[in-house]
Amino acid sequence: MTSIDFQTNPGRYRHWRYEVDGDIAHLYMDVDEKGGLFDGYELKLNSYDLGVDIELADAVQRLRFEHPGVKAVIMRSGKDNVFCAGANIRMLGKASHAHKVNFCKFTNETRNTFEAAGAESGQHYICAVKGSCAGGGYELALACDHIILTDDSTSSVALPEVPLLAVLPGTGGLTRVTDKRKVRRDLADVFCAMEEGVKGKRARDWRLVDEVVPNSKFDEAVVARAKDFAAKSPRPSDAEGIKLTPLKRQIDEDAITYSTVEVALDRAGRRATITINGPEDDAPADMAAFHAQGAEAWMLRAARELDDAILHLRLNEMELGTLVFRTQGDPEKVLAHEALMLANKDHWLANEVLLYWKRLLKRVDMTARSLVALVEHGSCYAGVLAELLWAVDRSYMMQDEFEGDNRPVATVTLAASNFGQYPMGNDLTRLQTRFLGEPDAVAALEAHVGKPMEAKAASEAGLVTFIYDDIDWEDELRIFLEERASFSPDAMTGMEANLRFPGPETMETRIFGRLTAWQNWIFQRPNAVGTDGALQRYGTGKRGDYNMQRV
């Protein structure tokens, strides 16, 4: 399989375009039928594959960082008579199971990004639906703040996956219908069993959309609603954005190298080691200096590079089952760079950088690999980077000095940010999730903010899993890594996902946990993907040949 690249820019888009008009942006979905990521299918009727969503994710990110004056985004189709037919069925029928699951996960993360943009960044998304809006197309709409449907004979919203394809909406459709739009359960049952969907005033009355507007007044109404949302936004009207310049990245056979992140690929050991290098320079003096650095500022550059590395490993290195996190650098400098963001959270750019780290850490949480962190001498697990220690499944820390190792002794340094700035999908911090049965332990840790903790203290505080001295370090790591590589990947994915998300359920955990787990199972069933399953027979006029046993 050709390597999938998650880096793009508007000059390379084949499926999306956006136009900025003052405080409103128009984001058009205009999918190139011939622009599929792989051969063997056409992206008809604005259907999409991973390549389409990679462009959408890039556009959403650029609207946040490059266009701070945009307060409302109108998402609409660039084609007549169709909004979006959803994920491309031919692509799903041909794709490997692993690709389908990772595709659904990335599209979920992208939907969550623009869904949260209104509340977190003041950049609200309004969906203007003309024509058929089905499956993943309706899921695009569901993630917006407001849905406007034109009232005509051809425009409708639908989630036809169950009756038509024998699968489920893969990007949170069922959960958003019930939890976000609060559609009555029996009406939701009717809706999700209908191939043809729901039109006009019924769609509004069932709360599937917010407004229904006649064709003659549709464009006027959409812009008026966008202006209403823009008027309530705190985003600055006169701020200058920063360009998200191309990443400095080199991909070799056994390594991926960025300016702050290094990835070593050990295919024989079925693992990848990700080293994050802390900042070499002092933190910028103020936000003006940070803005001048733009995408080269360490806090933003490191986030973009780590994000790209995680996505590359997810989709292009699926047999590397263990990700080993390392850091190297000065923890005081990490804290200083983060402190500038924290002290200026009311500045649009600082806010966006902190939110990016929040999303990135959630992406780490959701990555279906065994995750382990090594706290070595010379490491810089402080503040935002310390969050990785509680995102991983296990952590190992060097204790005392190691012979021949002249690096500063290993420490972990807490910051105020570890107590609320980067919540998980369950709306708890990683420390609260880690100490779910010991809430007093989290409160006690606040006394350690800003104080480097060596191995014994970090272990006693419960911040790391194991500490080892010079004698045991290499052997204990080798045993763990070899054991992990010998287990069933399926069992590991199931075990880790179950253990990572204790605590309360939220709409987000239900989308990723419950729905994705069911979709994962259903996508392996012959009723969906078998030779005579619904995905294979789609378009032939024949219904899938189902095993009718309820399981």
Single-letter residue type at 478: R
pLDDT reported for residue 175: 93
CA distances from 135 to 12, 33, 87, 404, 533 (A): 27, 18, 7, 60, 18
Q: pLDDT band at 513, cuts 50/70/90?
A: confident
Provide CATH code, domain 250-494: 3.90.226.10
Q: pLDDT band at 551, cuts 50/70/90?
A: confident
CATH architecture of residue range(s) 10-231: Alpha-Beta Complex (3.90)
pTM of structure: 0.96
Element (H, E) at 370: strand 370-375
Q: How far apart are CA 104 and CA 40, in angstroms?
A: 20
Q: Check: CB of residue 412 under 8 Å from CB of residue 373.
A: no
Instruction: Dump pLDDT digits (tens) for 385-401.
Output: 999 999 999 999 999 99
CA distances from 212 to 46, 126, 217 (A): 22, 13, 10
Which two three-digit tokens encode residue 224?
């008026």
Q: How far apart are CA 198 and CA 158, in angstroms?
A: 6
Mean pLDDT for 122-131 is 98
Q: How far apart are CA 412 and CA 450, in angstroms?
A: 10
For 427, the 3-state DSSP assignment is coil
- The 3-class SS string of 506-547 reads CHHHHHHHHHHHHHHHHCCCHHHHCCCCHHHHCCCCCCCCCC
Instruction: Dump pLDDT digits (tens) for 437-452.
Output: 999 999 999 999 999 9
Give the mean pLDDT of the chain.
95
Strands laid side by side in the 156-158 sheet: 82-84, 132-134, 156-158, 198-199
For 375, the 3-state DSSP assignment is strand
Question: Which residues are CB-neighbours of 282 under 8 A, at least 6 positions away?
Answer: 333, 336
For tokens 């917006």, name the residue: 144
Question: Which residues are CB-neighbours of 411 under 8 A, at least 6 positions away?
Answer: 331, 375, 379, 381, 382, 452, 453, 454, 458
- The answer to whether 10-231 and 250-494 have equal CATH topology is yes
Instruction: Dump pLDDT digits (tens) for 239-264.
Output: 999 999 999 999 999 999 999 999 99
Question: Which residues are CB-neighbours of 127 under 8 A, at least 6 positions away?
Answer: 74, 75, 76, 140, 141, 144, 146, 147, 148
For the chain, which residues make up each domain, given as ranges? Answer: 10-231, 250-494
- pLDDT of residue 203 exceeding 70: yes
- pLDDT of residue 1 exceeding 60: no
**Lowest-confidence region among 13-22, 139-148, 321-330, 509-518:** 509-518
Backbone angles phi, psi at 488, to 5 degrees: -65, 125
Greater pLDDT, 89 or 515 = 89
Q: pLDDT band at 192, cuts 50/70/90?
A: very high
Element (H, E) at 371: strand 370-375
Which two three-digit tokens encode residue 397?
């820390």
CA angle 94-99-104, nearest 5°? 105
pLDDT reported for residue 498: 87
Sign of CA dihedral 252, 255, 259, 261: positive
CA distances from 528 to 162, 431, 538, 543 (A): 10, 40, 10, 11
- pLDDT of residue 514 exceeding 80: no
pLDDT reported for residue 520: 77
Mean pLDDT for 128-147 is 97
pLDDT reported for residue 323: 98
Which two three-digit tokens encode residue 300?
């933003």
Instruction: Dump pLDDT digits (tens) for 83-105.
Output: 999 999 999 888 888 898 899 99
Mean pLDDT for 128-145 is 97
Spacing of C-alpha 425 from chain mean position = 11
Question: Which residues are CB-neighbours of 55 under 8 A, at least 6 positions away?
Answer: 8, 13, 14, 15, 16
For tokens 């559609």, name the residue: 183
pLDDT reported for residue 473: 98
Sign of CA dihedral 209, 211, 212, 218: negative
Crossing angle of helices 331-343/298-316, nearest 10°?
A: 110
Q: How far apart are CA 382 and CA 415, in angstroms?
A: 7
- pLDDT of residue 524 exceeding 90: no
